[in-house]
Structure 1
Amino acid sequence: MEEGATETPEELLAKQHRKEKKDLQAKIQSLKNAVPKNDKKRRKQLTEDIAKLEAELNQKHEEELKQLKSPADTKVGEMINGVEAMTVEGGDQQEVKQPRVTKAQKRRDKKAAQEKERESRIAEAEVQNLLGERHQEGLKLAQKLAQRQLQIREISSDGHCMYRAVEDQLVQRAVPGLTLVLKELRSRTAEYMRNHADDFVPFLTNPNTGDMYTADEFEKYCSDVEHTAAWGGQLELRALTHVLQLPIEVIQADSPTIKIGEEYDSEPITLVYMLHAYGLGEHYNSVERLKDPANEEDS
């Protein structure tokens, strides 16, 4: 007789539950290792995700135990053993007529199957998130910034992110006369571009024709910069370096840092450019001094 052949359904289920708990702890440790300790926001989200995974596994185990203890349910024992036949005295295999499955039991079985499928999808999504472009980009940026004792300072993704990131940098500096709010930054950027059209028009083309912008098209572009949530890029950053008379550097995950306005001899404004942020595509964040994880936990 093979080892374990005499184990009861209860013992087999307990063994299965121990293995699932061990597998979950291994997965949790992997998730913890993938998130930098100084990333307070993502560590908080991770703690919530871990609690949810543990609660779901406990609920699943409780449901399976209830099903095993139910007199009307013999299916759980059969699923664990992987056979439809039961051993009778003398070692012969005989088919045993199964009791009629009630509607209530069918509903429980269906619910359990749906829950198992949902947990499988969650686990698969977690793996994809860890391997995904957004997560990998975040890790690379965190490493680059940590070398300079910096970390990302999150900026809302509302179309104004570049200007809000610049605004945040100016607030952190607290330089008299340089604390400009979003509306002022957009207005002065558009004004500079209008007054120096020859420096910007050659880099703007009609997406339908490929031709360089006409005067009317350029004015429409500048109007959008000033009055809408039009996304900002390198042209607007170039204008801002002259408006502020400060250099601007943009840190990226997979490319060298872009430096604009190096003719100004001052400490640069530092932005972070993310290509895969929030599933929305391109996004700018600000930066701040790297915080001590120990102090973060105490605060």
Structure 2
Amino acid sequence: MEAVLTEELDEEEQLVRRHRKEKKELQAKIQGMKNAVPKNDKKRRKQLIEDVAKLEAEMEQKQREELEQLKLTSKENKIDSVTVNISNLVLENQQPRISKAQKRRDKKAALEKEREERIAEAEIENLSGARHIESQKLAQILAARQLEIKQIPSDGHCMYRAIEDQLQEQDCPVTVSALRRQTAEYMQSHVEDFLPFLTNPNTGNTYTLEEFGKYCDDVVNTAAWGGQLELRALSHILETPIEVIQADAPPIVVGEEYPKNPLILVYMRHAYGLGEHYNSVTPLMNAATENCS
């Protein structure tokens, strides 16, 4: 039984390692494909996006089937092993003695196998889950605009950090704390524009002035998550449009009345365990390389 467990662990470990290697090789291949297509060749760029999506889907399907087949084989081996052990017990008509050391080894092997199975299942979930699908869609949308996601930490300040990053790209440095303070001050001086859109989650009633004041205080002094109301306030403060790109809906633009180039954010609904998250954007690496050549 121990030999069977060890063999299964080896097979699973080899398969997971091979899958990781295949993913790295695929990403390198995709990068090479991107570098080979001029940025101004829209037709080939469009075809490239389709080809990349197809390659990733094929890789996902292949690896999922291999993992499922390995699990099926593992279960069959367990059944065969148990059957053999039972037959031996009947023939010998006695219970084999298992040492404490052997029990510890068996327990350790079983725990390791369970851990590897969880890793394999997580690999499948990451490939087919909502987060992966959303990331693929956003990558295609951004690539068509010669952009890619720039990761922002998920610490409650993500929207403000994404705005900060976009402003730095325009040589207009502003800190997150300053953005939060200015947002709260603007909202407090334009109560009628924001209060009707805030409701108490417990009662469903519109915020009182006292509750609204507490809300604005949290904007300044805590890591309270920012949303569309805060984006609206920031667009007026900066006198700049703010465009929010999302996977399953058209972009949202606030501050369209201002003539400046918009700050661009990416809204991700499935980015982390807590759900919603904002990232910034940056020019595609291969596009930047082409511009320098």
Same fold per superposition (TM over 0.5): yes
Sort the Cα spacing of 1:103 and 1:211 in 2 relative to 1 into closer, same or farther, 3 A. closer
Whether the aligned pair in 1 keeps the contact of 2:156 and 2:225 (CA below 8 Å) is: yes
Sort the Cα spacing of 1:17 and 1:163 in 2 relative to 1 into closer, same or farther, 3 A. closer
Cα distance between partner residues in 1 of 2:97 and 2:220: 73
User: Which residue matches 2:63?
Assistant: none
Cα distance between partner residues in 2 of 1:211 and 1:21: 55
Q: Which amino acid aligns with 1:268?
A: P
Whether the aligned pair in 2 keeps the contact of 1:251 and 1:271 (CA below 8 Å) is: yes
- The farther-off stretch of 19-28 and 112-121 is 19-28
User: Which residue matches 2:168?
Assistant: 171
Q: TM-score, normalised by structure 2?
A: 0.68
User: Which residue matches 1:141?
Assistant: 138
User: Which residue matches 1:290?
Assistant: 284
Where do residues 143-162 of structure 1 align in structure 2 (5 Å cutoff)? Answer: 143-162=140-159
1:231, distance to aligned residue in structure 2 (A): 1.2
- Cα shift readout 1:16-49 (whole Å, capped 9, x = no counterpart): 89976875566446655887966xxxxxxxxxxx
User: Which residue matches 1:58?
Assistant: none
1:113, distance to aligned residue in structure 2 (A): 2.3
Q: Which amino acid aligns with 1:223?
A: D
Q: Which amino acid aligns with 1:138?
A: S
1:83, distance to aligned residue in structure 2 (A): 3.3
Q: TM-score, normalised by structure 1?
A: 0.67
Sort the Cα spacing of 1:132 and 1:100 in 2 relative to 1 into closer, same or farther, 3 A. same
Sort the Cα spacing of 1:132 and 1:184 in 2 relative to 1 into closer, same or farther, 3 A. same
User: Which residue matches 1:225?
Assistant: 219
Whether the aligned pair in 2 keeps the contact of 1:247 and 1:266 (CA below 8 Å) is: yes
Cα distance between partner residues in 1 of 2:215 and 2:13: 58
1:189, distance to aligned residue in structure 2 (A): 1.2
Where do residues 55-204 of structure 1 align in structure 2 (5 Å cutoff)? Answer: 83-84=84-85, 95=91, 100-174=97-171, 178-204=172-198
Whether the aligned pair in 2 keeps the contact of 1:162 and 1:284 (CA below 8 Å) is: yes
Cα distance between partner residues in 2 of 1:206 and 1:125: 37
The higher radius of gyration belongs to: 1
Q: Which runs of 5+ in 1 are unaligned?
A: 1-9, 39-75, 87-93
Task: Give 1:248's match in structure 2, choosing from 242, 250, 272.
Answer: 242
Sort the Cα spacing of 1:238 and 1:273 in 2 relative to 1 into closer, same or farther, 3 A. same
Q: Which runs of 5+ in 2 are unaligned?
A: 32-76
- The farther-off stretch of 260-269 and 105-114 is 105-114
Whether the aligned pair in 1 keeps the contact of 2:9 and 2:113 (CA below 8 Å) is: no
1:196, distance to aligned residue in structure 2 (A): 1.6
Sequence identity percentage: 57
1:204, distance to aligned residue in structure 2 (A): 1.5
1:95, distance to aligned residue in structure 2 (A): 4.0
Aligned residues: 236
Whether the aligned pair in 2 keeps the contact of 1:34 and 1:130 (CA below 8 Å) is: no
The yes-or-no answer on 1:239 pairing with 2:233 is: yes
